[in-house]
């Protein structure tokens, strides 16, 4: 079983001692902060005095705040108030890293953009997570779905004529991850030069990176990539099969050795010896007849029987699972890839649920939960006190609605 980093082991985490202030909302910016927080940084999330609105989203948005804001502190500041902006600047100038994901120009209104902060804090690393990198599109309003549609991912995911966004916030999450990767690179360079810098990541460019393999397919072959449901697969057997009782299972054989094992395990000696299927490329060219034939041969086999068989002989296979079913996944449970957090908002506030951890281990241990997602403004007093505000000043700011 893979261990989780214990709260008492914080000094062993690679970013222990690093201070990050994030002005973020939704998914992209909070993901950047989450990566740095899980790696051990002190991450202070600046929220509006009314709270981050993702605390109260419904449906698919209900998991946003608890998923992307663990291991962070919360400070609530009204940036629209001049005193609030001044408090926020003081906080930002105390940080090693500032992260934000607001529209271009927003942070400049409050003197919190990189140009305003770098003169006073030349070692500051400033991470901007945007919709687009600087250029003709930079002032457009971007969403994950927007860039999936314009960046070719929805085209590749859906059937022809039916573009379909991917089933999770792939660009938001990966855009935040690339922001964190940029921050880590900038931290290494700062250790050499003593100077900070601005790091930028963007949804659109992230999406283009994701479809880059399909762009290169066209550049190399002259053939535009077909949507995934209609793609020319590079593998002879690489499909979802509907089997006994209407259950579905993904089965694959991606090499000639695997094809031989596949045929031996399933009793398909006639197909193994058929010269039309002699190599992977033969099988790819013959998929139009091979896959329907395999569907017919496998239709009466129970999914559990096929899974056990493929497990035994070492062939790739997968059940078709819903996300909620992963809570019972034996591998995730055995390896400590899920961890408890306490919810802070909504009807289930105070209840314990499980969340997923970063998909890495350091020194054989997962990066665990040191703190559940914070209550709105939970750390306002302690953080402001660390900046030199006394209790009377904090009380006055709270009475004036500058902080909460």
Task: Say if residue 157 is in the same domain as residue 290.
Answer: no
Task: Say if residue 240 is in the same domain as residue 353.
Answer: no
* 95 domain-assigned: yes
Task: Say if residue 79 is in the same domain as residue 177.
Answer: yes
Beta carbons within 10 angstroms of residue 362's beta carbon: 15
Range of the domain at 279: 235-323
* 330 domain-assigned: no
Beta carbons within 10 angstroms of residue 328's beta carbon: 9
For 322-348, what is each residue's pLDDT tens digit?
Answer: 999 999 999 999 999 999 999 999 989
Q: In the numeric block, which tokens belong to residue 180? A: 């964190």
Write down the residue that tokens 């997968």 correspond to: 318
Task: Say if residue 319 is in the same domain as residue 343.
Answer: no
Task: Say if residue 309 is in the same domain as residue 349.
Answer: no
* 279 domain-assigned: yes
Picking from 40, 18, 107, the residue whose alpha carbon sits closest to that of residue 368 is: 40
Q: In the numeric block, which tokens belong to residue 269? A: 């000696």
Q: What gap in Å lies between CA 401 and CA 404, rounded to an integer?
A: 7
* 363 domain-assigned: yes
- Residue where a domain terminates, one of 261, 289, 323: 323
**pTM score:** 0.93
- 3-class SS at 134? coil
Q: What gap in Å lies between CA 181 and CA 35, rounded to an integer?
A: 9
Q: What gap in Å lies between CA 156 and CA 66, rounded to an integer?
A: 30
- Concatenating the DSSP letter of every residue in 179-196 gives HHHHHHHHHHHHHHHS--
Going from the C-alpha of 380 to that of each of 44, 65, 77, the distances in angstroms are 10, 18, 8
Q: What gap in Å lies between CA 360 and CA 337, rounded to an integer?
A: 9
* 224 domain-assigned: no
Q: What gap in Å lies between CA 398 and CA 197, rounded to an integer?
A: 34
Whether residue 100 contacts residue 24, with contact meaning beta carbons closer than 8 Å, is answered with yes
- The predicted structure's pLDDT at residue 7: 47
Task: Say if residue 299 is in the same domain as residue 390.
Answer: no
- The predicted structure's pLDDT at residue 258: 97
- The predicted structure's pLDDT at residue 232: 76
Q: What gap in Å lies between CA 175 and CA 128, rounded to an integer?
A: 10
Task: Say if residue 316 is in the same domain as residue 345.
Answer: no
Picking from 326, 159, 319, 324, the residue whose alpha carbon sits closest to that of residue 243 is: 319
- Residue where a domain terminates, one of 273, 300, 323: 323
Spell out the residues 6+ positions from residue 302 whose beta carbon is closer than 8 angstroms to its own.
243, 244, 245, 247
- The predicted structure's pLDDT at residue 364: 93
Beta carbons within 10 angstroms of residue 120's beta carbon: 10
* 230 domain-assigned: no
Q: What is the pLDDT along the chain (404 residues), one digit of tens a residue?
A: 666 755 455 458 999 999 999 999 999 999 999 999 999 999 999 999 999 999 999 999 999 999 999 999 999 999 999 999 999 999 999 999 999 999 999 999 999 999 999 999 999 999 999 999 999 999 999 999 999 999 999 999 999 999 999 999 999 999 999 999 999 999 999 999 999 999 999 999 999 999 999 999 999 999 999 998 887 788 999 999 999 999 999 999 999 999 999 999 999 999 999 999 999 999 999 999 999 999 999 999 999 999 999 999 999 999 999 999 999 999 999 999 999 999 999 989 999 999 999 999 999 999 999 999 999 999 999 999 999 999 999 999 999 999 99
The CATH number for 259's domain is 3.30.1540.10
- Residue where a domain terminates, one of 295, 323, 351: 323
Task: Say if residue 166 is in the same domain as residue 27.
Answer: yes
- The predicted structure's pLDDT at residue 11: 56
Q: What gap in Å lies between CA 179 and CA 202, rounded to an integer?
A: 8
Task: Say if residue 306 is in the same domain as residue 165.
Answer: no
The CATH number for 374's domain is 3.40.50.10540
Write down the residue that tokens 């082991």 correspond to: 9
* 332 domain-assigned: no
Task: Say if residue 249 is in the same domain as residue 166.
Answer: no
Task: Say if residue 319 is in the same domain as residue 347.
Answer: no
Spell out the residues 6+ positions from residue 400 whose beta carbon is closer than 8 angstroms to its own.
81, 83
Count of domains in the chain?
2
Task: Say if residue 136 is in the same domain as residue 281.
Answer: no
* 329 domain-assigned: no
């Amino acid at each position: 079983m893979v261990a989780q980093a214990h709260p008492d082991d914080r000094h062993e985490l690679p970013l222990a001692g690093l201070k990050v202030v994030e002005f973020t909302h939704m998914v992209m910016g909070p993901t950047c902060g989450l990566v740095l927080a899980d790696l051990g940084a002190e991450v202070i999330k600046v929220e509006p005095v009314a709270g981050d609105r993702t605390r109260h989203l419904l449906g698919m948005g209900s998991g946003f705040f608890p998923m992307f804001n663990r291991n962070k502190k919360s400070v609530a500041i009204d940036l629209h108030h001049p005193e609030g902006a001044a408090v926020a600047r003081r906080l930002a100038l105390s940080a090693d890293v500032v992260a934000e994901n607001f529209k271009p120009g927003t942070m400049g209104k409050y003197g919190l953009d990189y140009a305003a902060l770098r003169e006073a804090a030349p070692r500051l690393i400033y991470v901007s997570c945007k919709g687009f990198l600087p250029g003709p599109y930079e002032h457009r309003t971007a969403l994950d779905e927007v860039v999936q549609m314009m960046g070719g991912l929805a085209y590749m995911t859906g059937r022809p004529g039916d573009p379909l966004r991917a089933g999770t916030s792939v660009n938001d999450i990966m855009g935040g991850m690339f922001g964190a990767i940029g921050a880590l690179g900038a931290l290494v360079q700062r250790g050499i030069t003593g100077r900070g810098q601005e790091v930028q990541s963007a949804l659109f460019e992230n999406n283009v990176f994701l479809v880059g393999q399909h762009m290169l397919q066209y550049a190399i072959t002259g053939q535009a990539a077909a949507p995934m449901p209609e793609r020319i697969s590079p593998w002879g057997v690489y499909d979802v099969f509907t089997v006994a009782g209407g259950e579905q299972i993904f089965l694959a054989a991606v090499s000639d050795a695997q094809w031989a094992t596949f045929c031996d395990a399933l009793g398909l000696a006639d197909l193994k010896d058929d010269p039309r299927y002699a190599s992977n490329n033969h099988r790819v060219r013959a998929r139009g007849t091979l896959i329907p034939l395999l569907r017919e041969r496998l239709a009466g086999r129970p999914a559990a029987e096929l899974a056990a068989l493929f497990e035994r002989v070492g062939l790739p296979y997968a059940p078709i699972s819903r996300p909620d079913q992963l809570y019972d996944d034996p591998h995730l449970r055995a390896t400590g890839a899920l961890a408890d957090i306490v919810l802070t908002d909504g009807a289930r506030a105070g209840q314990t649920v499980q969340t997923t951890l970063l998909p890495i281990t350091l020194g054989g241990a997962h990066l665990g939960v040191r703190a559940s997602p914070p209550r709105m403004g939970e750390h306002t007093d302690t953080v402001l006190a660390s900046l030199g505000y006394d209790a009377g000043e904090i009380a006055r700011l709270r009475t004036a609605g500058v902080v909460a």
